[in-house]
Structure 1
Amino acid sequence: MEVAAVELRRQLLGLFARLLEYPEPESVGQARACEELLAEAAPEAAGYVGAFRRYLEGTPIGRVQEAYTAFFDLNPVCAPYIGYQLFGETYRRSVLMLALLDRYRAEGFEYTNRSELPDRISVVMRYASVSGDEDVVVEGLIPALRRMTGVEEGPPVDGRGPMGSGTPQLEGHSHGGHLEEGVLLEMTEGSTAGSGRRAFEALLTGIRLALEALWPAPRTVLPTGRALEVGEATRQNGNGRAEEA
């Protein structure tokens, strides 16, 4: 792969990671930079990121932050943890997090917010941006984003949620579902806050489309019941089935 293409991938992953973290005033410039980088490489993705950028430009940062919290941290359907999206809250997610930590140590990667879990999507993207690890993009990030954007069915929502038994849980689906009552209904379905929900949906869709365009290799996701292991790769055997390399 050309050096320019590799650098483009890394720049985008780093910007995506920042956009998926808690919004700050700098988020507008980061979204604009993403949009410009994607204009030729993945124009459809650029359109979705552009919609998110316009939302940031026209919305007070405090309201953006409220919408972010409602969309990601209080909604299990869009919980921003790849292990939770792939396996639900099971021991397989724990195995995945340990495997990710092994990869982080092997690459000398340290994420700044140690209170965050290692499978948070922004952490994994930041790691991939500095390491060039394509496995976690193809086998982890893309499948998780497909579930978060409703392209594929996600894990069953249990009573614990991605952060354990203390995590607030909501009924419904962030992509068209409806909450029964409460402040989060107002935040996510109201006339102004609903635009925040749609904006973050657009961001996730844009990121998914960008990754699918720039990592076009066939997605060989791990079979149900297995977690990503350090150094694991797959290939197609003569019968067209995936097997370990």
Structure 2
Amino acid sequence: MPTKNINTEHYRMMAGLLDFPEEWIKERAKEAQVFLDAQYPDIGDEFRPFAEMCSHTSLDDIQELYTRTFEVQAVTTLDLGYLLFGDDYKRAELLVNLNREHATLGNDCGHELADHLPNVVRLIALLDDGELRLELLKKVVVPGLKKMIGDFGPETLKKKNEVYVKHHKTLIEMKEHEGTIYQVPLMALLSILVRDFGLGAEEKEEGAGFLASLSTEMKIED
């Protein structure tokens, strides 16, 4: 399985697309489209709807889409450890280990936690230890990405919205295609990682997923 001599600079580019969007998002999306068209043409075709959305949508609306997708009445979460393990001690262990690696390599996590997907993807780009990088990909990043993408499925979205309506009484409305647009960069990132590192469908997924964690959290609040 390939772990050496892989150019990882494009992971920083993909990670940037999943930061909270600011003025740079339109240019980043355009640059990503050019790169993908040149290096991964099939993935570029899949990514195009996101780049076009960024090009034709106001920054305020893109920020609202991001917030609704990942933060308020969220479709999913970008915090890999929470997604995979909920509040289990395994997440605490993961955060400790990731914090150590971030600090060692000088990877600034900003105001997000160590297991926030963009932070972890940037860490992947910095790691020189091929075995550690592959272990992180196989046990955390790839399973987490698969769960994030799975959270955009129609049935999962329906169940999640039912939970939100039950506990918040109201649901923030989104157009159907808008509610799933952020799965596009997630799918592109997953496809790149799988291809670059020879990972496949056999990679094990762990944890109960965001919906199960959400339901448990809501019950505790009651």
Partners of 2:190 and 2:159 in 1: CA distance: 19
Matching of residues 161-180 of structure 1 within 5 Å: 173-174=156-157, 178-179=161-162, 180=165
Partners of 1:112 and 1:85 in 2: CA distance: 18
Name the structure 1 match of 2:97.
99
Name the structure 2 match of 1:54.
52
For 1:197, the aligned partner's letter is G
Asked if structure 1 preserves the Cα contact closer than 8 Å seen for 2:82 and 2:91, the reply is yes
Return the match for 2:178 from 196, 220, 239. Answer: 196
TM norm structure 1: 0.68
Partners of 1:13 and 1:89 in 2: CA distance: 28
Structure 2 gaps, min length 5: 209-222
Name the structure 1 match of 2:26.
28
From the superposition, tell whether residues 175 and 51 of structure 1 become closer, same or farther in structure 2 (CA, over 3 Å).
Answer: farther
Matching of residues 143-162 of structure 1 within 5 Å: 143-150=143-150
Structure 1 residue 182, shift from structure 2 partner = 2.5
Give 3-state SS (helix, strand or coil) of 2:22's partner: coil
Structure 1 residue 50, shift from structure 2 partner = 1.4
For 2:112, the aligned partner's letter is E
Q: Is 1:19 matched up with 2:17?
A: yes
Asked if structure 2 preserves the Cα contact closer than 8 Å seen for 1:44 and 1:209, the reply is no
RMSD (Å) for aligned C-alpha atoms: 3.1
Instruction: Give the helix-richer structure, 1 or 2.
Output: 2
If asked which structure has higher relative contact order (CA below 8 Å, sep 6+), I would say: 2
- Once the two structures are superposed, what CA deviation does each residue of 1:76-122 show, in whole Å capped at 9, x if it has no partner? 5511011112212211111110011122233x223151x31100001
Name the structure 1 match of 2:192.
210
Structure 1 residue 177, shift from structure 2 partner = 5.8
Name the structure 1 match of 2:170.
182
From the superposition, tell whether residues 60 and 223 of structure 1 become closer, same or farther in structure 2 (CA, over 3 Å).
Answer: closer
Percent identity for Structure 1 against Structure 2: 19
Aligned length: 196
Name the structure 2 match of 1:119.
115
Return the match for 1:74 from 72, 75, 85. Answer: 72
Structure 1 gaps, min length 5: 154-171, 226-245
Partners of 2:206 and 2:70 in 1: CA distance: 26
Structure 1 residue 26, shift from structure 2 partner = 1.4
From the superposition, tell whether residues 58 and 223 of structure 1 become closer, same or farther in structure 2 (CA, over 3 Å).
Answer: closer
Asked if structure 2 preserves the Cα contact closer than 8 Å seen for 1:82 and 1:140, the reply is yes
Name the structure 2 match of 1:42.
40
Structure 1 residue 35, shift from structure 2 partner = 2.2
